[in-house]
Amino acid sequence: MDDKNIRELYEVFRVEKGIGLFLEDHIQRLFHGADKAGIKLNFNFETIKNFFKETIKREKIISGNVRLSVFFDSSDGSVISYHASGVPHSYPTSEQYQKGISCGLFFNERENTQTKIANTLLRYDANQIIKEKDYFELLLVNHQGEITEGSRSNVFFIVGHKLFTAPDQMVLPGIARKKTLEVAQALKIPVDFSPLHHQHLKDVEAAFITGTSPRILAIKSIETLNFKADHPIIHQLTDGFSKLVKSYIDKRNQSPDD
């Protein structure tokens, strides 16, 4: 086996109060991504779910992030090994949640939008720009000029009290994105699954990213354009998301074997 054929399929989930948040959704995405990429996983749903729970217990993780790495041979899709462990994390500050974050545009595209396979080159390039420009995140712009997602997040735009976000097939479908859409549906906030062209950013009232670590985080600026970080829709979604997290934790505490 040639080492250059070794790739990594991975999943990162957040732990709060000793509970792996939305664990079932993360595992489903892992299996979906593996199927799309032709990766032959050598474990089933319950096995990896218990593996995650044992990792949290073994490492005594009360709050933080856990990463599962599945190393596979890209030539035939066979799994070489897998492991999970707590990983360093950085959550937004209270000031960032209140005032929003700064983002830039990155004219680049993810190779496998439906599969969480490590793209070290894109990640490295994005991190370099983020550091140089002092951005929190970079928003990816495809060859058609459409903003699809963040380099490590999903992105939503608010125009006329409606949410705009790229369709699932154009992005890595984040779990925080999925939960945000569930909250939006419950609140009857309309969603238009259309990618926003970067030249139309001037029409945007507010914007935010979603992700495992930030959950829902308002954007105060993209390049030289400023946005309303305290938009009421962002507050509604944030409150709804927090209630969803609390409900999930309460349910797992009541049924720890679930």
Q: What is the DSSP annotation of 117-154?
A: B--HHHHHHHHHHHHHHT-SEEEEE-TTSEEEEESSSE
**The three-state (H, E, C) secondary structure of 41-67, written as one string:** CCCCHHHHHHHHHHHHHHCCCCEEEEE
| Residue-level pLDDT, tens digit, the chain, 258 residues | 557 789 999 999 999 999 999 999 999 999 999 998 899 999 999 999 999 999 999 999 999 999 999 999 999 999 999 999 999 988 999 999 999 999 999 998 877 665 666 666 777 888 899 999 999 999 999 999 999 999 999 999 999 889 999 999 999 889 999 999 999 999 999 999 999 999 999 999 999 999 999 999 999 999 999 999 999 999 999 999 999 999 999 999 887 666
Structure token digits, residue 104: 């830039």
Q: What is the distance between the alpha carbons of residues 183 and 189, in angstroms, rounded to a whole number?
A: 9
Q: What is the pTM of this model?
A: 0.92
Q: Please give the single-letter amino acid code of residue 165.
A: T
Which domains does the chain show, CATH number per domain?
3-89 (3.30.470.10), 94-244 (3.20.10.10)
Whole-number CA gyration radius for the chain: 18
